[in-house]
Amino acid sequence: MCHEEIEHRKLAAGGRNAVEAGRTAICLVGAARRFELTGPSIVRNVLAQYPQADLFLSPMGIQGLLQYFNLVQGCMDLIKSHESRENFTYDWIVRTRVDGFWAGPLEPSSFIPNTYVIPEGSRHGGLNDSLGIGKRDISAMALSRLSTPDNLVAAGYSGLNSETAFLTQMKLGQVSTQEHSFQFCIMSDRRYSFPPSQYTTPVASLDIHGPLNGAKCRPCRDPYVGQEADEIWAKLDTNRGWVEWRNGALGLCNATSEWEKDWGEVFDVMVGPIAAAERKRVAAMSVEECVSDLGVFMGKTAQWKSPDPVHICQLGLAKRTIVQSISS
Ligand SMILES: *[C@@H]1O[C@H](CO)[C@@H](O)[C@H](O)[C@H]1NC(C)=O
Ligand SMILES: *[C@@H]1O[C@H](CO)[C@@H](O)[C@H](O)[C@H]1NC(C)=O
Ligand SMILES: *[C@@H]1O[C@H](CO)[C@@H](O)[C@H](O)[C@H]1NC(C)=O
């Protein structure tokens, strides 16, 4: 049995404790859309599961692929500068998106040495990395890829989407990837044509029966479900790798319009009492309470590369829906 195999067995046996025995960096990237919904779910299902882990936050507005790669690289830079200041290296790096809504915990079985673990599906002809978990060296390889516009252009990849570029990079680096099921989806405000054609993005209903694996989602009244939904999923490009839609497991939203006016009620029914209570608490929050909440979040954060909490709270509570923070 090779060293990695032994290590993985130990992890599986020791579960959370074994992951905790190493040092873990959790890196949250992306635009904080609907953070009042996603934030509490991330705290509960990711951060609180690994209380010893350090948090790195690098949110900003994402505009296009180049900014996306800079963002990914940005988090690795934050981690490296923290490591060199503190003179140690992390064992594990978890990277996920601020706009992810987590319906269940991030399980320790997804921490596997020697491979980069990503969600099933949404491949867009490559690999989707809306979440990635790996040992430090492997994560560093995954996160520092093609990180500047110059590199991208020099490598001749300007025509690729983020997933195919990622896949190419992982192949070049001879890093293996493994797909796992994860109970999170990317909360989306965008409108999409419906029913989706072969190559347009489907928006899953938040009414989660199976793992959404980082699919786009929103709360919607009367989602398409059962056979009706299956027929639509079946017409989508198989490269998207939707493995869990069969037998009515995944509902679909007609996302041609904005979120419904009473989306809050729909959300509460779909996500269960804990997440519903969290939503209501945030919705009723004053700026002072928000700042104090974010203060707790900042306390966990090794590097805060975002606007200050007062600004985030004023923005978020004034608009109630979108906290779009542009980092300097
Ligand atoms: C950093 O850590 C290494 C190994 O633990 C040690 O040998 C070295 O002296 C440390 N450097 C500083 C500047 O503390
Ligand atoms: C992965 O899939 C999600 C959901 O379809 C999408 O929002 C995201 O842009 C994809 N790509 C990456 C690199 O996260
Ligand atoms: C989707 O919703 C729009 C209005 O929001 C409606 O006009 C359209 O008929 C709906 N499409 C389907 C296929 O349900």
Residues 254-264 have pLDDT tens digits of 999 999 999 99
Find the ligand nearest to 259 CA. Answer: 3
What tens digit of pLDDT does each residue of 11-36 get? 555 567 767 778 999 888 777 678 77
Task: Report the distance separating Cα 283 and Cα 98, nearest Å.
Answer: 18
b/e burial code for range 131-167 (CB count within 10 A of at least 16 → b):
bbbbbbebbbbbbbbbbeeeebeeeebeebebbbbbb
Task: Report the distance separating Cα 302 and Cα 22, nearest Å.
Answer: 16
Question: How far does residue 95's CA lie from ligand 1's centre (Å)?
Answer: 27
Q: What is the mean pLDDT of residues 154-166?
A: 60
Band (326; pLDDT cuts 50, 70, 90): very low
Q: What is the mean pLDDT of residues 83-107?
A: 92
Task: Indicate if the pLDDT at residue 115 is higher than 50.
Answer: yes
Atom of ligand 3 nearest to the CA of 195: 13
What tens digit of pLDDT does each residue of 187-239 get? 999 999 998 887 778 899 987 667 888 888 999 999 998 888 888 888 876 65
Q: Which residue's alpha carbon is nearest to atom 1 within ligand 2? A: 128
Give the model's pLDDT for residue 61.
Answer: 41
Give the model's pLDDT for residue 64.
Answer: 42
Task: Give me the chain's average pLDDT, please.
Answer: 74
Find the ligand nearest to 69 CA. Answer: 2
**Gyration radius of the chain over CA positions:** 19
Q: What is the crossing angle of helices 309-319 and 287-299, to 10°?
A: 130
Q: Which residue's alpha carbon is nearest to atom 6 within ligand 3? A: 256
Task: Give yes or no for residue 99 CB within 6 A of ligand 2.
Answer: no
Question: How far does residue 114's CA lie from ligand 2's centre (Å)?
Answer: 24
Task: Report the distance separating Cα 55 and Cα 28, nearest Å.
Answer: 8
Task: Indicate if the pLDDT at residue 242 is higher than 70.
Answer: no
Q: What are phi and psi of 54, to 5 degrees?
A: -95, 145
What tens digit of pLDDT does each residue of 36-67 get? 788 888 888 998 898 888 888 775 443 344 44
Q: Which residue's alpha carbon is nearest to atom 10 within ligand 3? A: 254
Q: Are strands 131-135 and 92-97 parallel, antiparallel or unpaired?
A: antiparallel
Q: What is the mean pLDDT of residues 86-115?
A: 92
Atom of ligand 2 nearest to the CA of 166: 13
| Pocket (CB within 6 angstroms of ligand 3) | 194-195, 254, 256-257
Task: Report the distance separating Cα 328 and Cα 325, nearest Å.
Answer: 10
Task: Report the distance separating Cα 299 and Cα 132, nearest Å.
Answer: 24
**Lowest-confidence segment of 84-93, 103-112, 184-193, 281-290 by average pLDDT:** 281-290
Task: Report the distance separating Cα 229 and Cα 220, nearest Å.
Answer: 14
Q: What is the crossing angle of helices 263-271 and 273-283, to 10°?
A: 150
**Lowest-confidence segment of 90-99, 240-249, 280-289, 291-300 by average pLDDT:** 240-249
* Residue owning tokens 């969600």: 119
Contact 96, 184 (CB under 8 A): yes
Query: What are the chain's domains?
Result: 3-180 (3.90.550.10), 188-277 (no CATH), 285-327 (no CATH)
Q: What is the pTM of this model?
A: 0.79
